[in-house]
Each structure stands twice: as C-alpha cells, then as structure tokens.
Amino acid sequence: MITLDPAMLNRVVKPARYTGNEWNSIKKDHDTVSVTVALSLPDVYEVGMSNLGLKILYQILNNREDTAAERVYAPWVDMEAEMRERNIPLYTLESLKPVREFDIVGFSLQYEMSYSNVLNMLDLAGIPLFTAERDEHMPIIIGGGPCTFNAEPVADFFDCLVLGEGEEVMEDIIAAVSSWKKTGKVNGRSGILKSLAQIGGVYVPSLYDVTYHENGMVAEVLPNCPEAPLVVTKRVVKDLNKVEYATRPIVPFLDIVHDRIMLELFRGCTRGCRFCQAGVLYRPVRERRPELLLKMAKEMVDSTGYNEISLTSLSSADYSCLPDLVDSLMGELKEQGVSVSLPSLRIDSFSIDLAQKVQQVRKSGLTFAPEAGSQRMRDVINKGVTQKNLEDAVSAAFQAGWSTVKLYFMMGLPTETDEDVLGIADLAYKVLDLYKEIKGRRGAKVTVSVSCFVPKPHTPFQWFGQDLANEFERKQQLLKARLRDRSITFNWHDARTSFLEGAFARGDRRLGQVLLKAWQNGARFDGWSEYFKYDVWMDAFKTCEIDPYFYATRHRDFDEVMPWDHLSSGASKQFLQREYEQAVTEELTCDCRREHCSACGVCPGLGVEVLDWGSRA
Amino acid sequence: MAKLRLEITKGEEIRYISHLDYASAMERAIIRAKLPVAYSEGFNPHMKISFASALAVGVTSQAEYIDIECKEEIDVNQAVEHLKASLPVGIRIKGAAYMQGNVPALMAIVNLAAYEITVPLLAEDIGIIEDSIRWFNGAEAVLYTRESPKGKKEIEIKQYMAKPITLTALEKAVRLILEIRITPTGSIKPGEVLGALVAMFDLPVDIDNLLIHRTGLYISNANRQVSPVEL
Ligand code: SF4
C-alpha cells in the first residue's frame, strides 16, 4: 500500500481525485481473489469517472468472487510532478496498491488525443512501455473502447485490444488469465497472449506482422502464428436485457463531468450519418425493455442518492417507448425529488414536447446538431434532417418558452463548398428571425459551434482526405465574418488539434514511434487545449521522418489496404464504399431500425438482430 | 416540520474532500436513507439542510453539525439507523436530536471551534517549540496577511484566540491545541495560525505536512460552553 504524504495532497488541486473511498466503491482483499484488474481511462478523474463502460465493467467484474476490479485515472499535471518527485508509483484508488502489481490493466480508449496519457501512466506505474519488453510478472495491458477499431498507432504498447462491447468478453478474459495463473503461467507471456487471441473480439497486435509498399501504404497485415485469426471481429451483446448493468455505480465526492444516473436505453444507432463512427461500431440497435429500465432506474436512485437521471444512448429520442418511459419515470420518482434529462435532442417537435415535459420549469438552452448548414451537405452526410424539420423544432422551442439555442456543425465534410459553409450562418440567422416572428421582438441567443471534421476508420468517409489546417482556418474566418450579430456566439475548434487527431485516427503502427517521441518531449493531456503542444508533435513527426499529411489529408483509393482491414466492426467494406458513393451523389439511406435493412452486414455476420420494441408492437 | 440535528464526523478517509463535496455526500446519503426531508419551493428545489461551519479541504473533524428539515418527525433512532446504513466511510453519526420550537440556524449560534494541529518537528529540542508558543501566547497582537485570489488582507489573529495555545509532544511531531472564536465579523483558520507561528514566531515545524482536526464546535458564553446537540 502506498502512503500519501499530506504535504503532497495539501498542495495539489482537488486532492479528492486521488484518495478514493467513494460510496459504492468496492475494496476486496487481494489474497482472496485470483485475478486483479485495474480499470482506467487515460484522462483526469472527473472524465474517467463519467465513462459508462467502465462503470458497467466495474460492477460485472466485482460481482465475480474471484476478481477484484479497482480504478486508476491519469493524475493531473500537478499530482504527476509530486508523484515523480517522491517516487510514488501509479496506484489504484481502492487498495492504494501499485498498478504494476495487478494482473490486468485495462484502458478505455475513447479518443486518440488520450494516447500520450497511456504512455505516461504506464511510465508512472513503472511498467515497461512496449509489449515486447514486458515479462510474465508484469500486468497484461488491455485496451477497449472505440479507438481499438484502429488502435494500430498504439499496437506496440498494448498486449491486447478488445473490439466491441465488454460485458461478456471481459469475463472470458478473466477466465483465461485465471487459468493461466493457476497453471503457473504456463508458456509465460506468449502463453497467455496466444490464449487471449483465441477469444472472439480480442486482438493481440504482437501476433500480427505488417508489411508496407514502397510508397508507404500498408501491403498486408498477417497473423504470425496459428492462434491469431486473420480478421478479428467485434463482440456484441445480443440482448441487453440479459446482461448486468451498472446499477450500483460509484458516487464520487467531487463533481464529475456526468454527475448523475446514466440510464442506457439502448445501444446502437442506425440513422446512418456517414461521418459517424459510433453509428457503425455499435450496430445493430438493441433496446432495453421499458419495464426493465424503470426497475433499473429505481434501483439506481436507491443505490446512489442521485436526484437526476439522464437518458443516455446515441440518440435517446429514438427510443421506441420514450414518452411512456418518461411518464412512468417521472411519475414514480417525483416524490423523491428525482428529475429526468435528455442529453441529446432529435430535431423535431416531438423532441421539444419531451424536453418541455422533463425540464418543466428550467429553461436552459436547447442543443441541436444539424451537423451541416446546407440541405445539400446534410444529404451528403445522410443527416436526415430538412430545413423544415429544423424550423419546426426551433419554432416549437421558442413557443414553449426557450430563447437560447445551441447549434452544432462540422466543417471540412466531403464535397463541401464555401456556400455550404456559409449555409451555417444562414441557419443561425434564420433561427433569430424565427424568434422575432414568433415573439414579435428580438431576444434569442444562438450559439454556433463548429468542429473540424476528422474522417474516422470504419465509416463511409474513411477514404476521404481531411482538409488542411489552413483550409479549416480560412473557412472559420469566412464564417466568422458572416456571423457578426451580437446575438450569435461563434465557437470553433482548433484546426491543428483536429489535424493531429486525423493523423492518429487513421494511422498505422509506425505512428507508435511518433507517439513515444512526443510523450518523451512532454506531450500529455493533448485533449486539453491548455496542454496541447502542437510543436512537440510536429517535431516528433520530423524526428521519426514520418509525414502526418500522409495519414490525415491524403485521399485513399477504394482498393488501398487500410491499416485496420483486419479489424472488423461487422459492417462490410462494400457497404461503406456504397455509402461513400451515395454521399457524393447526395442520395439518402434509410434507418434500418424501422425501415428496411441497408445490408451493412452486421446482423447476418454476427448473428444478431435489431431489437426495437416499437417496431414489433 | 421537524428539525433533526445531527453530530457527525469527517474522518481520515475523506480528509481531502471539500465542504461542498461533504454537503452533497450528506444530501445523497439522506436520499438513500429515504428520510422525509423537506425541499425548498421554486424553480430549482433544493434539500433543506444546513451546516454549522464549513470545513476546509484537508481538515478532519469529530464534531460537525447538520440540521435536516423533515416533513414529519420519524423516530430519532430509526432515522439514525437508516442514515447510518447510507453514509460513506468517513462519516459517522455521534449524536442526534430533534430541535424543538423555532431554533436559530447553526451558523448563527456556533461561535467557538477547537482544533488539534499535528505537525512534524524540524527541531530536536521541544524547548524551542515551547518558547515559540509561549511567545505567541504572550503577544498583544499578531498581524497576519491573508492572501487570496481577491487580494491581500491584514488580520489581527489574537482577537480570535479564545485561549492560549497548548501543546503535546509526540514522537517527531507536536500537537497544538487551539480554540478559535467565530465572530459575526470573521475568524481565522487554524492553518493560518500555524502559518503565523512559523513565519513570525520561528516555530520549527514542517508546515507542508500539517494535519488539522476539528475537535469541537461550541456555543459559548460567559457561563457555559455547550455543543449544538446539547442545547
Ligand atoms: S444488417 Fe441491416 S438491419 Fe442489421 S444493422 Fe446492418 S443495415 Fe441494420
């Protein structure tokens, strides 16, 4: 057990990030279990603690008598300095034991910009960074989360990466590690890696060799041993009604990003937005039953004492039984002072009615994501929202008493012209006009947030070359000049951060060196603008003689081998290509949830099906 | 309406949480315990609970007080039992009583706080420590400059010292016992007193490693000194 000096904790910001003991946290005697797991998200406590996947795994793993699951997050820069000065290794919040003594360390990889923190945490833990340098006494380093679908840039640092949903596969992994330990770690490190490679959804990167063409493109990614499958396909839970949920989540002392009950209505979203990676990775749509959700909600209020329930899903308003569910939640929990909130709103008046119902009195701003300014552009990305949908939704919101609207957009989408970009401004002004029409006076506030589009693997736009940073900046200025009204606030993303994200999102294994170099030169918390060191990254690319533009801004041909072609979401490359082609011709694809199947390949390929209670009723 | 007053602790396990965190931990425990707590009216209803005095990050306490406004008066023992089962480690209930009649807010009546400060020694000779404390105790006035994001402010410390500081020698450390007045116009924090001792009275201690523990909050007047649950 690590002892933490008062001097250290007295000096750092928010020391409660590092001292644990929260309600519902679970402490087990390590001598009574056969496998210990440190669950992590490589970011600060408040971010890591908000991740739903980790909450679920914490409960599932701790439900097992043979397993102790604990937590560790990235110490903030002040704490890191204190720890390094005092030689305090990275430790978990439950037992205050060094992470290095655990059997498994699992990192949730939610965004590429957290990769430098993974290296930093391994280093702080005293764990060798490269999988090749670790022997059987070191923990097995596992990655999960959306980034694993192309975690090639971090492939050299991880022992294995888990594709898809973790509920079932983590249990398989625990079983494998437990029996390997019982046999005295037979065949050492390579013994366990080879047995993990045989579990569906588990990718062991060291069991694959990558070869490259002279022009730098990937030639082949092939297994180097019989245990490793040619293609690793994601795991998917067939029926969410049958798996454990995080009904006893840890209640932190300090405010975290999502400090409320998260009630996951369903998984998957098949609206088919062509830029969206989550929409492909989490197919198909699988809903939980409303009765089960109500029961879970009550259990969670009792187990946490939270007084707010957030209905979380990729697009919660699409839940088939939403109005009934909201009514019963509010009806049964009102007595206890519990409120219900919807994190995302669909752009229609149905959503406004709901928002009105749940937020009865509080008229804080409403957020919509039209994603693109012009109808043409929205058709390209298959965002099935029309100008009229938007006008109806905003009008309904104003009529219901709201006056603040936030609009989210992207720029740099395929086929985008300046006219499309300026369409964003037109939309913002249209919203102001609607308010005036309805209320007979000015007074609406509109916030326009525009991010820089980053093409992601496993999406129809995976072949598309990202805009150059200066092109993004030009478009930002163009828009800024048009958005001069005092009622409009314009926010935009840093183009250089998006460029780096773009390189890593579609990177290959060679980027591991760049990551290592950048981390050595001080890169960490890259997702936090105040710590993002663009120059350090560009120097690292230069030192390694690797061209970031090759990864970020280059258009690929359809027949190019992608660094992630051996990692499958279940959606076929043909489907993605078809979608790209339809994007260019501005053709729409329907939602398979309630309309016909668009043959992405997931359901037949993985033996799963859409579960939507509304469509069956 | 019934006002339930509790004497509770903030233990070592949660030393580093803030007062706001502590308050919301209590709020959530009250919801888990399903106490019939009252809420304010209006847009954003909040739970009707109030504390005697805020406790800083890094400070533990064996005597915190909270008033919980209840919609009905359930049996005290039952309320305590339910709440006990719902409290995070580090918060214990030491006393509970319903306050009868229209009692003033805890904030308004508590006027004395007692602390123990434990801090490692930087000198071998306990005599030096004693001298320094004696010197402080004997001083007419001690001016301390409080620095905050809002700026600097000069404060006279001695007006808030209810009693001379006493000390106990521990192994390689010393424990100081302080009683500090809480007045309508202000007070001084125990850490600030230690800061003054180190800066102005040459107290040879490792101030970075100080541990502060609140031992009591009192309502004190010329005749008697009682805790808020003893009223
Ligand atoms: S296979 Fe068809 S129904 Fe299943 S997710 Fe794909 S498009 Fe939807």
Report CA(B95)–ligand 1 centroid distance (Å). Answer: 61
Hey, CA dihedral for A595, A598, A601, A605, is it positive or negative?
positive
Q: Where would I find the H helices in chain B?
A: 19-32, 76-84, 106-109, 126-138, 190-200
Cis peptide before A284 (omega within 30 of 0): yes
Which of the four pLDDT bands, split at 50, 70 and 90, describes residue B216? very high
Distance of CA A230 to the CA centre of its chain: 26
Neighbours of A246 (CB within 10 A): 22
Q: Does residue A11 sit at the B interface (CB-CB below 8 Å)?
A: yes
CA distance A389 to chain B (A): 30
Indicate yes or no: CB of B25 within 8 angstroms of CB of A18.
no
What is the distance in A from the centroid of ligand 1 to the CA of A536? 43
ipTM, two decimals:
0.92
Residue B88 has its nearest CB partner, among A6, A23, A307, at A23
Ligand 1 atom nearest residue A597's Cα: 2
Q: Nearest to residue A283, comparing CAs of A458, A435, A476?
A: A458
- Whole-number Å distance, alpha carbon A462 to ligand 1 midpoint, is 19
* A18, A22, A303 ranked by CB distance to B88: nearest: A22
- For chains A and B, what is the number of CB pairs under 8 angstroms? 79
- Give A351-386 as a DSSP string: HHHHHHHHTSS--PPEEEEEESSSHHHHHHTT----
Name the one residue in this structure whose structure tokens are 């909201």.
A326
Which atom of ligand 1 approaches the CA of A609 most closely? 4
Q: How far is it, in rounded angstroms, from Cα A381 to Cα A498? A: 19
Ligand 1 centroid to A597 CA: how many Å? Answer: 5
Measured between CA atoms, the residue of chain A closest to residue B88 is: A23
The pLDDT score that the predictor gives to residue B125 is 85
Domain with CATH 3.30.750.200 in chain A: 357-510+546-555
- Rounded to the nearest angstrom, the distance between the alpha carbon of A167 and the centre of ligand 1 is 22
Residue minimizing CA distance to atom 3 of ligand 1: A597
Residue contact B16–A362, C-beta within 8 A: no
In 3D space, the residue among A348, A349, A275, A282 whose CA is nearest the CA of residue A312 turns out to be A282
CA-nearest residue of chain A to B31? A305
Ligand 1 centroid distance, CA of A288 (Å) = 18
Phi, psi of A354 (to 5 degrees): -65, -45
With beta carbons less than 8 A apart as the criterion, state whether A499 and A451 touch.
no
Estimate to the nearest angstrom the gap between the alpha carbon of B110 and the chain centroid. Answer: 10
Coil, strand or helix at A295? helix
Angle at A152 between CA A148 and CA A153, to 5 degrees: 110
Identity of the amino acid at A451: S
Instruction: Report strand pairing: B173-181 vs B112-120.
Output: antiparallel
Q: Which residues contact A61 (CB under 8 A, 6 or more apart)?
A: A37, A39, A67, A68, A69, A170, A174
Flag if A6 and B27 touch (Cβ within 8 Å).
no
Task: Compute the nearest-CA separation of A562 from chain B (Å).
Answer: 48
**Does residue B40 come out as left (phi exceeding 0), alpha (psi in the -120 to 50 range) or beta?**
beta
Residue closest by Cα to atom 8 of ligand 1: A592
User: What is the fold, at CATH topology level, of the domain defined by B2-109?
Assistant: Alpha-Beta Plaits (3.30.70)
**Pocket around ligand 1: residues whose beta carbon is below 6 Å from it?**
A 270, 283-284, 592, 597-603, 610
Chain B residues bordering chain A (beta-carbon distance below 8 Å): 13-18, 21-22, 24-25, 27-32, 34, 39, 43-45, 47, 57-58, 86, 88-90, 206, 208-211
Tens of pLDDT, residues B43-102: 678 899 999 999 999 999 999 999 999 999 999 999 999 999 999 999 999 999 999 888
For residue A498, give Cα distances in angstroms to A211, A280, A408, A415, B169: 28, 21, 16, 19, 59
Facing residue for B211 by CB, picked from A6, A303, A306? A6
Domain coordinates in residue numbering, chain B? 2-109, 112-230
Helix (H, G, I), strand (E, B) or coil at B39: strand
Residue B120 alpha carbon to ligand 1 centre in Å: 66
Tell me, yes or no, if A334 comes closer than 8 A to chain B by beta carbon: no
Question: Chain A: residue nearest B87 by CA?
Answer: A23
pLDDT, averaged per 10 consecutive residues of chain A (617 residues), comes to: 91 96 98 98 97 97 98 98 97 98 98 97 98 96 97 97 97 97 94 97 98 96 97 96 96 93 94 95 95 96 93 88 90 84 78 74 74 95 90 89 91 97 95 92 93 98 97 96 94 95 97 98 95 96 97 97 97 96 95 90 93 69
- The residue whose two tokens read 């740099």 is A412
How far apart CA A23 and CA A571 sit, in angstroms, is 40
pLDDT (tens digit, 9 = 90+) per residue, B36-56? 999 988 767 889 999 999 999
pTM of the predicted protein model: 0.95
Q: Which helix (H) or strand (E) holds A327?
A: helix A322-333
What residues does A40 pair with on adjacent strands? A72, A107
Cross-chain CB nearest to A253 (options B17, B45, B47): B17
**Residue contact B16–A9, C-beta within 8 A:** yes
Return d(Cα A478, Cα A471) in angstroms, integer.
11
Separation of alpha carbons A344 and A360, rounded Å: 17
Question: Residue A362: which of B21, B44, B209 has the nearest Cβ?
Answer: B44
Number of other CB atoms surrounding residue A48 within 10 Å = 23
Closest residue on chain B to A298 (Cα): B32
CATH class, range A357-510+546-555: alpha beta
DSSP assignments along A395-409, one per residue: HHHHHTT--EEEEEE
Give the pLDDT score at A574: 96
CB atoms within 10 A of CB A74: 26
pLDDT of residue B45: 80
